[in-house]
Structure 1
């Protein structure tokens, strides 16, 4: 393995970890607080997720000698932000995280469940994801309305840098947020010294509560979004780059590491989709057999970033929430555009996808169960009835 190490893979690993962490930690932070986590619990969750996905990437890449990139579930975090607090508070959300992790393990080890997830119509899965994301994607505009100077600085950095390098657009927005925080926000005296004193991580263990709202509003939608939007595309990225992974064990491993991070407030880790292309492509190394070191290096840097999560979270919380939500929204615009396009591209399923999207995006819950579940259910029923009627008509003809 040491003979396969290269400076190119080291640099790509660092870049992958920086882009993966900086471009979406705001989404994760907002998602955890959205389901009731305190500042300390959210920091613990970000730390646990970053360390878990780093260790998972190191273990899987060293074991398979494939560039297996791991990420936290960014769409899942957006789902949490739109779901809101459930009955039982954050403890019930943690119970949902544990159930989701168990389902991911089962999906990897028990092929029928994996096939069931793969059988969920892609149009409905994308419509649900688009409905989940749209609320956060409004945040940049709301930030401009809140404070034009601050909002436009963040939005402008994202737009200008993104015109040259799309991968660096969100980190640029994060840098602009840091500048706004430093020079534009009135920070109380002694705030940074207090953060420095608490620089070491402080994990917070949350005793889980298992109830029906946590199962239906958190666990099941989080499982579907994580599998459909992250794990399955992650396998596809590896295959596009001429690798032939065995999906089942990889899925199960991400479920195990998700299970380990859940008691500390982490929602889910999974195969990376976007950053996976960075480690699996030619930029990681000219020799495909040596690219796995890029994923290993990314894992090491994820662990380092995770150990600094407490300080990062405390610094972020010094600013008005809408500003970090704006960064999170910018990080999700591309995902929203892709999911919306895939949801509505087929004319025969467009109405079912629209119903799924609108129900999910409404943010309305029924019986304590979030709109994401009801949207998927409503769209599935409409699609099923439509296909049944079409089949009956075809028989008569």
Structure 2
């Protein structure tokens, strides 16, 4: 009996390492782009990437050891994409953005402590939430084709590697596209003799920013970021674990992710949450035949994330050296599947389709009033249209429906 147990231990450990590699490499460019869009310089963006990776890496280890469930956490990738879309309309500066991140952490904590707050988010109809997300993601999802038009020789190798890999090595398509991008950037830097910007550092660093609380930033950044994180990460994260037979400890998970977001915010971390897509890698059969031992994959993923955190300075410096728009193209590829799923969720129900369309175009257009960006107004417009056109204020069963 001892030999099989030892043999099976390698499976969850390997699955955890793969979870971290895929989760980190497939979306860190979105996070960096989002932080830079709302005012972070290279050092502050590197600090944010480091803070996020460390806080959710530690959070994974704590939850997995405590509950013996393969609970994995992640940064809010859709939230980072929302920051990219909001960047042009955000005039409060980096300290105000950090203040908004801190508010998001408090709201996530409150969600675990106050059931009514979770119910309020649950009353936002799925098509409205998904349409807002799709509109926010549109900006980045256009980046691959925009880059192709401007710099085809640099972009074509990335697109080809991604496309071929998506056909035969689906899980590794984005990491391989990223590796290709790094090779292209290396050649570009060598040919053009690009120098490292003064604000960049190859080493991981934590940079403190004292938060400033600005009303327009709280309404325009914090509230949409909170809604996107809850609707597009935490609720699907619960559903993924449930599909493998695990019940998520909701309150402890919200406490850990909310606390992690609050701790990471002054160092530039925008939000951490339950993992959705990468959660399946640690909770599925690839993490071992025995479901009771798959929590080891979660611990392995958490440790692997802590190792990857050391690369934060290097990776942000590389993004500074890259030709404009090239890594954004990789970010767009990383978000295509999420964008497609959001469109399906937004326009799948005919009775809500017009309200969802209004939500989508409002978010995509980046409509701004009183310094408050398009993501917030998209929700407002969508909910008003939904009530006027029929369907009431929203179904309280949205979250439970998604979890099933």
TM-score normalised by structure 2 residue count: 0.92
Cross-structure match for 1:25: 28
Q: Rate the CA distance shift 1:336–1:330 in 2: closer, same or farther, 3 A.
A: same
Cα separation, 2, equivalents of 1:291 and 1:382: 45
For residue 170 of structure 1, the aligned residue among 163, 174, 181 is 174
Pairing 1:10-89 to 2, within 5 Å after superposition: 10-84=13-87, 86-89=90-93
Deviations 1:126-167 (A, max 9, x none): 000000001100000011111111111111111000111222
Distance 1:187 1:257, change over 3 A: farther
Residue 368 of structure 2 is aligned with which of 357, 365, 368? 365
Q: Is the 8 A contact 1:98 1:262 kept in 2?
A: yes
Q: State the aligned residue count.
A: 388
Matched ranges for 1:47-196 at <5 A: 47-84=50-87, 86-186=90-190
RMSD: 2.1
Residue equivalent to 1:244: 247
Structure-2 separation of matches of 1:327 and 1:170: 8
Does the residue aligned with 1:317 lie in a helix, a strand or coil? helix
**Structure 1 range deviating more: 92-101 or 163-172:** 163-172
Tell me if structure 1 keeps the 8 A contact 2:352–2:386.
Answer: yes
The answer to whether the 8 Å contact 1:5/1:293 transfers is no
The answer to whether the 8 Å contact 1:109/1:249 transfers is no
CA 1:357/1:11 → structure 2, altered by over 3 Å: closer, same or farther? same
String of CA shifts for 1:284-321, please: whole Å, max 9, x gaps: 01100100111111111111111220111112211113
Name which of 303, 308, 311 aligns with 1:305.
308
Q: Is the 8 A contact 1:4 1:290 kept in 2?
A: no
1:295-334 equivalences in 2 (<5 Å) = 295-334=298-337
Distance change (3 Å), C-alpha of 1:95 and 1:5: farther
Q: Could you state the TM-score of these two structures normalised by the residue count of structure 1?
A: 0.94
Alignment gaps of 5+ in structure 2: 394-404
C-alpha separation between the residues in 1 aligned to 2:313 and 2:384? Answer: 44
C-alpha distance in 2 between matches for 1:8 and 1:69: 17
- Shift of the alpha carbon at 1:380? 0.3
Task: Name the counterpart of 2:398.
Answer: none
List runs of 5+ in structure 1 lacking aligned partners. Answer: 391-397
CA-CA distance at 1:210 after TM superposition: 0.2
Post-superposition shift, 1:188?
6.7
Task: Map 1:213-362 to 2 at 5 A.
Answer: 213-362=216-365
Q: Could you tell which deviates more after superposition, 199-208 or 285-294?
A: 199-208
Deviations 1:347-369 (A, max 9, x none): 00000000000000002311100
Hey, what's the Cα distance between the residues in 2 that align with 1:327 and 1:255?
Answer: 29
Q: Does 1:205 align with 2:242?
A: no
For the Cα contact (< 8 Å) 1:128–1:375, is it kept in 2? yes
The secondary structure found in structure 2 opposite 1:200 is: coil
Report the Cα offset of residue 198 of structure 1: 4.5
Mapped to 2, the partners of 1:165 and 1:348 lie a distance apart of 38
Distance 2:59 2:6 in 1: 22
Instruction: Please say if residues 203 and 312 of structure 2, whose CA atoms lie closer than 8 Å, have aligned partners that are also in contact.
Output: no
